[in-house]
Amino acid sequence: MKQTVAKAGPPSKMNKRFFWSTGITLGVLVIMIFSYNYHVHLDVNMFNTLMRERTMKNISEEKVLKKETDIVVSKPKPLTGIWTVNAIGRLGNLMGEYATLYALAKMNGHQAYILPQMHNQLSKIFKITLPTLQQDVINRIKWRHYGLHDWMSDEYRHIEGEYVSLSGYPCSFTFYHHIKDEILREFTFHDFIKEESYNYLAKIRGDRKNVTFVGIHVRRGDYVHVMPNTWKGVVADKGYLQKATDYFRQKYENPLFVVTSNGMDWCKENINSSLGDVHFAGDGQEGSPGRDFALLAHCNHTIMTIGTFGIWVGYLVGGETIYLSNYTLPDSPFLKLFKYEAAFLPEWIGIPADLSPLLNKKNP
């Protein structure tokens, strides 16, 4: 029996629609799969990029934090040993010795201590912070004694010894000007002294407006004889003080001059007070210099003559300072111990002294 094989005829419309629908569906699926893979790949790349950026940021932040931590952690080495200085002279000398000890001990990495007699004088006026040595400790220590001249020298940066006692009359900004703010903090006045000074200045100001206070310190006493007879020098005279006061009278509208001295009678005779702008303050006694010093230090500007007292007033005030310059003969032995450029700040104003009394004495 012969089998009959049915032949496929032309596709019907329904079959065509089925094939087209199936093809479109498959195409869409392929596109979706491709798109999904592309986006997944893209997102992975973006994720990796973001992770790399975040990792680098974290590393950078860690480095910064590490540096900051290093800065905080790296503290200066503790000061060792015991360094001190002699306590000789009057107020200006003691301040110079204190400031020099403070600076040199710190520079050499050692702890500074002051002697009881220095503490007794300076602590009455200032809020000093250096600790004080007790006498029994002083007696037990085997000191290395190291003498200083009046100005800073490079060898002072490398002084050897854990237990060093400095000596001399050092009074020069070259020792301590690099830490000026610290030195000024050490010489902060007690509050009751500030109040006394401000009350006095307010009293003499009265109803005046725009007042500029100028402190004048006239050093006389033993210097009147010591300077010409021992050091071939002079003290300030009437002419110098006139020039100095005229400078401030010409520059400021309402200057008021506050005079302190250990020779007040001479000042009253030789400082022109006819304009009513000069006030003679203090009791003129060397035994109570703290009040005079504080009063001058609370003025705006300074006129000094000679001596460490006036130098320290000018340094603490920080305004304009006029000083007596070239007050010794060129062959004075004083110049072996003293340097003008190391005593007076470069911005201070020097008025040369009249040396004619010395020259007339030398060549009668």
The SS3 call for residue 157 is: helix
Q: What is the pLDDT of residue 75?
A: 64
pLDDT of residue 139: 94
In this predicted model, what pLDDT tens digit does every residue of 57-108 receive, in sequence order?
Answer: 444 444 433 443 344 445 667 889 999 999 999 999 999 999 999 999 999 9
Tens digit of each residue's pLDDT (9 = 90 or more) over 121-157: 999 999 999 999 999 999 999 999 999 999 999 999 9
Give the closest residue to 223 by CA, choosing from 73, 315, 327: 327
**Would you put residue 161 in left (φ > 0), alpha (ψ -120 to 50) or beta?**
left
Q: Which residue has the tokens 């703010």?
A: 181
Tokens of 163: 């237990």
| Residues whose CB is less than 8 angstroms from the CB of residue 311 and which lie 6 or more positions away in sequence, other chains included | 92, 171, 304, 323, 343, 344
Spell out the residues 6+ positions from residue 291 whose beta carbon is closer than 8 angstroms to its own. Answer: 193, 196, 282
> Considering only CA atoms, which of 290, 332, 231 is closest in space to residue 95?
290
- Rounded to whole angstroms, the maximal C-alpha distance in the chain is 173
Task: State the sign of the Cα–Cα–Cα–Cα dihedral 218, 349, 338, 153.
Answer: positive
- The pLDDT value recorded for residue 36 is 42
φ/ψ region of 77 (left if φ > 0, alpha if ψ in -120 to 50, else beta) reads beta
How crowded is residue 355: how many other Cβ atoms within 10 Å of its Cβ? 17
* φ/ψ of residue 113, rounded to 5: -130, 150
Q: Give the per-residue pLDDT at 67.
A: 43
Low-confidence spans in the chain with pLDDT less than 50: 1-20, 22, 26, 28-51, 54-55, 57-73, 287
**Cα–Cα nearest to 149, from 205, 104, 215, 113:** 104
Q: 282 near 292, Cβ under 8 Å? A: yes
